[in-house]
Amino acid sequence: MLERIEIEAFLTLAEVLHFGRTAERLHLSPGRISQTIKALERRIGAPLFHRTSRSVRLTDVGQTLYTALRPAVDDLERAVTTATAAAHRQRTRLTVGFSTPWCGDLVIVAGDRLQEELPGCDVSIQEIQLSQPLQGLRSGEIDIQLSEFPINEPDLVAGPVIFTEPRALLVGTSDPLAACDSITLEDLAQTRLIPVRGNAPDYWQAYHYPAHTPSGRRIPHARPVTYWPETLSLVGAGRGSTIASLRAARYHPHPGVVYLPIEDADPIRYGLIWRADNRTEVLHRFAQIVVKAADV
Amino acid sequence: MLERIEIEAFLTLAEVLHFGRTAERLHLSPGRISQTIKALERRIGAPLFHRTSRSVRLTDVGQTLYTALRPAVDDLERAVTTATAAAHRQRTRLTVGFSTPWCGDLVIVAGDRLQEELPGCDVSIQEIQLSQPLQGLRSGEIDIQLSEFPINEPDLVAGPVIFTEPRALLVGTSDPLAACDSITLEDLAQTRLIPVRGNAPDYWQAYHYPAHTPSGRRIPHARPVTYWPETLSLVGAGRGSTIASLRAARYHPHPGVVYLPIEDADPIRYGLIWRADNRTEVLHRFAQIVVKAADV
DNA sequence: TTTCGTTACGTTAGTCGTAAAGATT
DNA sequence: AATCTTTACGACTAACGTAACGAAA
């Protein structure tokens, strides 16, 4: 394979047809151009240029080489440009996902702070579907997201817990439990849980929609649904109950739906998740900002 | 632009996915590969490989680069191969032209001698059309030819005179001159010369088919013909005369055609002609052999 | 005589291998 | 503990510029 300097010297000389100007353009001495071309000619096995002190022009073999080499080198440089652009995009663009409005609030603040800190970068924020909580990360559409733990996947990294929220049972007003101020996990055996259907990992699904109470009693499940508004409607219509963050009461009030704190349930943990192979500077910095913002 | 070693290291590593094997294949140390890849990553602006001591694999940016770079480099190598092949052909192939059978004899002997001397080379010999004596050279079909002088063209080189042949007038047996043993240039005024029409230079045309005798009398010209056999037929039919080498009498006898030596005409000079920009080793050697062969 | 391309030579930058260190399974 | 990548460092190659030389118009 040809050396970079050989390629550049040859192509430039073939276009300029002047050793001195070629040397100038490449910031080299004329002697070096002469030697380099000579080396290339030795390698190819024939003179590539007819030259006198008055004129330089391509030989037939030189023309053959030029015709084939020029577009190949153009492609090569385009390849580098493309990759460099992709690298720059990766360095400066960050797409952040969030699952709930309170995650969204935090992420938006952190995004603004990141852009103040790194003026060149370009943060975009989007909500993720409850039914497919990890798909955006895996497809590369989302670089990092703030969403519900537990997440324990080989291709993903879960950061520290950013904040927690107590859990609540959502029941219809006609439900016997609706009169209580709060409930315990054992009470879940009396309700029909409506889980969200999705391709979340099984352990995630089981954690958020348990099948048994701590004492081992079975918790009946209703038909799974795909979207959050649908769940709310079903609960309001007395078709079942569901478990969510207590905080959702303030963001998703619904007529006929009561939020009951579950006294003995672990709070829901929220944290950052990103792809193990996506460890860019902006991503790291964003994660730090979120951790810091959550401390306050 | 990328250095050769960067390209080779990147492509090989992208295919082998192993620093040690890449180093082996490129006859370098693993350290060098590591440094080279690192330098390339600095230039592109992002990691090209995910690597641990157990696995090496392309990042998204690395994949982008590989996909675009691989075909470009293939084209580049093809370009070099093509040019090298063209150079080799030019170094080892020689196509020799000749105008007359006696030129052909000499050229064939010289060609055989050349192949004995340079066993790798490949000589081919072909007759050139009288009507287009220089076209083969200019189109590149013929590398060197042995033919009639004078030739004085800026893009062609004429070697030394290899041999000379006396000139003769060819007349029909019914022509008044047919009874003579020989003629002089002044006698040409009594005949109708049949010239060969072609794109030979004007001075060549005028030299071989003069328009005036030495004393200035006009020599009538008949309609030009394109091929030598046609000329012979026309002369045999008494439709005119023509001028050729006296030696042609032995190679091209024709019923009804008489060859008359022209006593005071300069002999026809034969020599080698080649393109000024086609100065290969084989060509030069062939010319030397022809000169030497003519001396004997 | 001028303008270039080429050659010669001394200098230096950068590439290379060796070997030790660091990381990962 | 073993394997593989990375880093450190010293040696040496070859790329480079300067300047003199040579060829061509």
- Structure tokens of A26? 């490449």
* H/E stretch holding A260: strand A257-261
With an 8 Å Cβ cutoff, are B4 and A4 in contact? Answer: yes
For residue B78, say whether its CB is under 7 Å from any atom of strand D. no
Angle, helices A101-117/A281-295, rounded to nearest 10 degrees: 120
Alpha helices in B50-184 (DSSP H): 60-92, 101-117, 135-139
**CA gap A75, A72 in Å, rounded:** 5
CB-contacted nucleotides of strand C (7 Å):
3-8, 15-20, 22-25
- Å from B160 to nearest chain A CA? 24
Q: Which positions 55-74 of A are in contact with B (Cβ < 8 Å)? A: 59-61, 64-65, 68-69, 71-73
Query: For chain B, what percent of residues have pLDDT higher than 70?
Result: 100
What is the per-residue pLDDT for B280?
Answer: 85
| pLDDT in the model for residue B248 | 94
Structure tokens at A42: 């030795």
Distance CA B189, CA B114 (A): 46
Query: How far apart are alpha carbons B256 and B233 in whole angstroms?
Result: 9
Residue A55 has pLDDT above 90, yes or no: no
- Is B79 near chain A, with CB under 8 Å? yes
Contact by Cβ (8 Å): A209, A195: yes
For the four alpha carbons of A98, A103, A106 and A108, in that order, the dihedral sign comes to positive
pLDDT in tens, A233-246: 999 999 999 999 99
Residue B262 has φ and ψ, to the nearest 5°, of -100, 110
Which token pair is A92?
């400066």
Tell me, rounded to whole angstroms, the distance of Cα A123 from its chain centroid.
Answer: 11
The strand pair at A93-98 and A144-148 is best described as: parallel
Q: Which residues of chain B fall below pLDDT 70?
A: 296
Dihedral angle over CA of A34, A36, A38, A43, nearest 10: -170
Q: What tokens appear for B83 in the block?
A: 């040019």
Mean pLDDT for chain A overall? 92
Nucleotides of D under 7 A from a protein CB: 2-8, 15-19, 22-25
CB contact under 8 A, A79 and B65: yes
pLDDT digits (tens, 9 = 90+) for B104-128: 999 999 999 999 999 989 999 999 9
Chain B: nearest CA to A37, how far in angstroms? 14
Which of A69, A138, A281 to probe the B interface (max B CBs under 10 A)?
A69
> What pLDDT, in 10s, does the model give residues B170-203?
999 999 999 889 999 999 999 999 998 888 999 9
pLDDT at res. B191: 92
CA atoms of A133 and A131, how far apart (whole Å): 6
Q: If you average pLDDT over residues A252-274, what whole number do you get?
A: 93
Handedness of CA B12, B13, B17, B19 (dihedral sign): positive
Pairing of β A93-98 and β A122-127 = parallel
> Are A87 and B61 inside 8 Å of each other by CB?
yes
The pLDDT assigned to A196 comes to 86
Answer yes or no: are the C-beta atoms of A245 and A269 closer than 8 Å: no
> pTM of this prediction?
0.80
Q: Shortest CA distance to A186 belongs to which of A209, A206, A216?
A: A216
Chain centroid to CA B213: how far? Answer: 36
> Helix-strand-coil percent breakdown of chain A, rounded to 5?
45, 20, 30
- Please report the pLDDT score of residue B145 as a whole number: 97
User: Tell me, what DSSP letter sits at residue B227?
Assistant: -
Distance CA B123, CA B127 (A): 14
State how far the Cα of A185 lies from the Cα of A264, in Å rounded to an integer: 6
pLDDT higher than 90, residue A54: no
Strand D: which residues 46-105 of A lie within 7 A (CB)? Answer: 52-55
A8 near B CB under 8 A: yes
State how far the alpha carbon of B45 is from the alpha carbons of A87, B39, B42, in Å: 6, 10, 5
Q: Is the pLDDT of residue A296 over 80?
A: no
B139 C-beta less than 7 Å away from strand D: no
What are the tokens at A143? 């670089």
Return d(Cα A140, Cα A144) in angstroms, integer.
10
What is the Cα–Cα distance from B279 to B142, expressed in whole angstroms?
Answer: 13
Is A38 within 7 A of strand C by CB distance?
Answer: yes
Which uninterrupted H or E stretch holds A232? Answer: helix A228-236
